[in-house]
Amino acid sequence: MVNNFLKNNLAILFGNVFFRIGGYIYKFLMVYLLDTVSYGILTVVSPFQNTLQVLAAGGLPPTISKYISEYNATNNEEECYKIILVSFKIAILLGILFGLIMVFFIAPALAKIYKNPILLVPLQCIGLIVPFSAVVGAFRGIFQGVYKMQYILVSRGVEQIMMILSSILLIILGFSVVGALLGTVIGFFCSLISVIFILHRYFFDIYNGILKLELGFKEEIKIAYKIISFSIPVILTAISEIGIYSITTTIMPLFITISEIGYFGIAEPIARLPLMISNSLSTTMLPVSSEMIATNKKDTLKKYIFNAFRYNLIIMVPICLFLMIFSREVLLVMFFTKPSYSKGASVLSILTLGMFFYSIFSISSSMIQGSGKPKVSMYLLMGAFVQILVLSFILIPHFGVNGGAIATALTTLTISLISLFYLNKLVSINFNILYYIKILFAGLVTGVFLLVLPSNILGFCLGLIFLLPVYILILMLVKGFIDVDLEILSKFENKIPVKNIFAIFRKIIIKGMD
């Protein structure tokens, strides 16, 4: 059972990394294939797409997963089938309903509010995506509930591959941003076909049980109420998180041009790249903190917390410093065919700082959830949504796209500080501030070194080459390493045959320990 649990968690972890990379590839391809205005339109409509998908799915995937796993544990197959059947009906109903509302009401209203008719058709395309994504989400909830994570990965793989290929083809054929959005429709449609096939092929007992089930209307309403009640916190949390990332781009069209918004959309995925590290740490820390709290091993938990924050800082500090200092050069190198995109350099610098703060919140929030306080994270995200909304209306009219980035950075700083304060109150953390100061000092010295380099492609290349050697050298000089680093190095050393490199790192770590 334990091995199966670890296997499923590793599958999801690697799957998340793989699909996140795929998402970045998609965005970068869109940047190359679309002009600034078209990419700006895609940036504006994306938050509405994400929000509608969450609303249409109704928080069903985790809800279905929860109840299926519970009923399977008690061998209550009939109740399991009831949950699945009612969930499918909710998904189909909400998907079609929100799709129609988007096409005929929300899209025309937004086009009028923004005073920009070119947004109408792209916004209406979102309405075509929602029904398919809602039903696919329900299927994925079934797979999660029966611990068949590989089928979730298969459906996501089909969705992402078909979305990328279809979008590229349609853009080349001249459909521009509409082609990109229709490519997403095709991706979800193909994913729907794949999950129907998987359910019929590998879960025929469930498929057959659903078809034979007969439910009265009153019983369906009762089950639907049960599902929706559980789903509401999930929906609110998801929408609030979307808001932190994207609410600024929905406000920008009121004050600045679509092409300027494109610069924000170009910088945002690059700024979020380092979050892959914190997301992996937070994914690991949630079950660990749950286990430590359940077994009353708070001292062990404190060690995990200390190391999670410490490794997040060690990795994030040099990466974020490099992105902030060489933001212009990063954009020039990544989009060498479109040098005008380097105008988004200041946005990238500010957003990178904001994502650094968010990495701290991501880990502390995961620990708070694992400690049995899941609603705290929801309240923090909801508060952050309100804060970034207010700040966006204040800052964007005066500072343009930079105002949106500043609003994001200030909001993520706020929630990171509050979450740290609450986590400390919850488990009385001994933060060992001295070790964090050493890491930040090493980052400061490395930052000065990067600033001395010329602000051009030569400086960018030199910075890329010497960033880690300088940073690790400073960490060694300030005694920023600890015995746990040696333990982790030994684990990798036993699995990877390149012994000479590990021998060098071992000497550096030993010299860099108190």
Average pLDDT by consecutive 10-residue portion of the chain (514 residues)?
47 67 85 88 89 72 74 72 83 91 94 92 93 88 76 89 96 95 95 89 69 76 82 75 82 91 88 76 52 60 78 90 95 84 92 93 79 76 92 95 95 93 78 83 94 93 93 89 74 62 71 70
Q: What is the predicted pLDDT for the residue at 1?
A: 42
In angstroms, the Cα distances linking 355 to 215, 329, 334, 450 are 48, 19, 20, 20
Counting Cβ atoms within 10 Å, is residue 227 exposed (0-12), middle (13-18) or buried (19+)? buried
| Phi-psi map region of 432: left, alpha, beta (phi>0 left; psi -120 to 50 alpha) | left
pLDDT at 382: 87
Neighbours of 91 (CB within 10 A): 25
Q: Three-class SS string for 32-99? A: HHCCHHHHHHHHHHHHHHHHHHHHHHCCHHHHHHHHHHHHHHCCCHHHHHHHHHHHHHHHHHHHHHHH
What number of other Cβ atoms are within 10 A of residue 1's Cβ?
A: 6
Q: How far apart are CA 392 and CA 380, in angstroms?
A: 18
Distance CA 343, CA 386 (A): 29
In the chain, % helix, strand, coil (3-state, to 5) comes to: 90, 0, 10
pLDDT score, position 174: 93
pLDDT, residue 414, reads 96
CB count in 10 Å sphere of residue 208 = 12
Count of CA atoms in the C-beta half-sphere (13 A) of 96: 5
